[in-house]
Amino acid sequence: MKGDPVVLGIESSCDDTAAAVLRGSRVLANVVASQAVHQAYGGVVPELASRAHQQNIVPVVHRALCEAKVSKKEVDAVAFTRGPGLIGALLVGASFAKSLSVALDIPLIAVNHVKAHILAHFIAAAGATVPSFPFLALTVSGGHTQIVLVRDYFDMEVLGETLDDAAGEAFDKIAKILGLPYPGGPHIDSSAEKGNPKAFAFTKPKVEGLNLSFSGLKTDILRFLQRAVKSDPNFVERRINDLAASAQHAITETLLEKLALAADRFGMRRIALAGGVSANRGLRSALRKRAEQNAWRVYVPELAYTTDNAAMIAMVGVLKLQNRSFSALDTTAAARLKI
């Protein structure tokens, strides 16, 4: 191997088929094929996700290699998402990666998707600084919401997590109640920009310690709207921006209160955001405001590396390749995988 290693990453844990090529921590290509098939159902249909991954995986990998101007022979290792995620979806990426590892006689590297969201901070990006250890990570996506103490690349401890819905799931379910398309998070974000976050005070969940809960908020909003539309059938249409802004405010404040508690308890001043919901403008600006108040140093990844992508998988591949931490060909995909 000459110079920095070239790693191909493959991500297929949910509804994005993604492939990326990294040379060291530099991204040469980052291709994501999002599956539109789920939109009509208002959520991800696991069976359809697996089928779409089957269709997409070969062209997506081909495109990533072409864009990177890298031939298969130059690839030093193949990294894939082992879990957590939808099992049928994970199997497509895992099987493809194993086949490629055998065909090219290169190491196979299994990657934990949630860790990868956090380690996306180590991807070389223009103007971005890399957090030094230890730091706190708030991972917020459609499938997970955790506060993680990151001591080193592979030494992470979950300090708190959601007891029910993930933050992204809360965004998506509330968006559905408001009649917004799936996935609803970005739609709530856009509407919220035009609304008043203090228009409605929704109840914040009360959970002990560093754990979180979001299912009560969704029920609270549903009950509130059922009452409101009785006297005004156009209430949701009329107040959509205020409703979105108030719901977003309730979610972001809940997240930030717990994050502040964790930062105090563990004496952390470096805070990193990870996962799809870190694209949320309300969360980003509220975090920056808190950072000023609390003298935090905040790290927010580039948008392309917040939602599901394979660059973060390849990044972990690069780090594991350095440790020669390879996976056997009988490694199984795992729907539930802890940090």
* 270 alpha-carbon distance from chain centroid: 19
From the list Zn ion, ligand KG4, none, partner contacted by residue 171 (C-beta under 5 to 8 A by kind): ligand KG4
Smaller CB separation from ligand KG4, 184 or 195: 184
Contact window for Zn ion (CB under 5 A) among 26-34, 138-146, 199-207, 249-257: 138-146
For the bound state, the minimum distance from the C-beta of residue 203 to ligand KG4, rounded and expressed in Å, comes to 20
Residue 52 engages ligand KG4 in binding (rule: CB under 6 A):
no
- With binding defined as CB under 6 A, does residue 84 bind ligand KG4? no
CA distance 68 to 71: 9
Query: CA dihedral in degrees (217, 220, 221, 223; nearest 10)?
Result: 160
Q: In what order do the strands lie in the sheet with 26-34?
A: 26-34, 16-23, 6-11, 77-83, 108-112
* Residue nearer to Zn ion on the CB measure, 191 or 280: 280
Given Zn ion, ligand KG4, none, residue 183, with its beta carbon under 5 to 8 Å by kind, binds ligand KG4
Sign, Cα dihedral of 45, 47, 48, 53 = positive
Query: Is 97 within 8 Å of 78 (Cβ atoms)?
Result: yes
Which of Zn ion, ligand KG4, none has residue 185 at its interface (CB below 5 to 8 Å by kind)?
ligand KG4
Q: Binder to ligand KG4 among 93, 168, 195, 317 (CB under 6 A)? A: 168
46/186 with CB nearer ligand KG4? 186
Structure tokens at 96: 């493809």
Residue 178 φ/ψ, nearest 5 degrees:
-85, 0
Nearer to Zn ion, 12 or 141 (CB): 141
* Member of 30, 308, 316, 337 binding Zn ion (CB under 5 A): 308
| Least distance to Zn ion, CB of residue 141, Å | 4
CB of 164 to ligand KG4, least distance (A): 15
Question: Does 14 participate in binding ligand KG4 (rule CB under 6 A)?
Answer: yes
11 binding Zn ion? (CB under 5 A): no
Report how far apart, in Å, the C-alpha atoms of 157 and of each of 54, 168, 187 are: 34, 21, 32
**Tokens 């864009």 — which residue?**
67
- Asked if 279 touches ligand KG4 (CB under 6 A), the answer is yes
Residues pairing with 78 in the sheet: 8, 108
CA distance 221 to 338: 31
Q: Does 308 bind ligand KG4 (CB under 6 A)?
A: yes
End-to-end Cα, the chain, rounded Å: 30
Residue 34: phi and psi, rounded to 5, are -85, 145
Q: Which of residues 122-161 bind ligand KG4 (CB under 6 A)?
A: 141-143
Under the binding rule (CB under 5 A), the answer on residue 12 touching Zn ion is no
Which of Zn ion, ligand KG4, none does residue 195 bind to, with CB < 5 to 8 Å depending on kind? none
β-partners of residue 110 are 80
Q: Which residues contact 204 (CB under 8 A, 6 or more apart)?
A: 217, 250, 253, 254, 257
Backbone angles phi, psi at 330, to 5 degrees: -95, 15
Give the nearest distance from C-beta 76 to ligand KG4 in angstroms. Answer: 27
Applying CB under 5 A, the residues found at the interface with Zn ion are: 141, 308
Applying CB under 6 A, the residues found at the interface with ligand KG4 are: 14, 141-143, 168, 171-172, 183-186, 189, 275-277, 279-280, 307-308
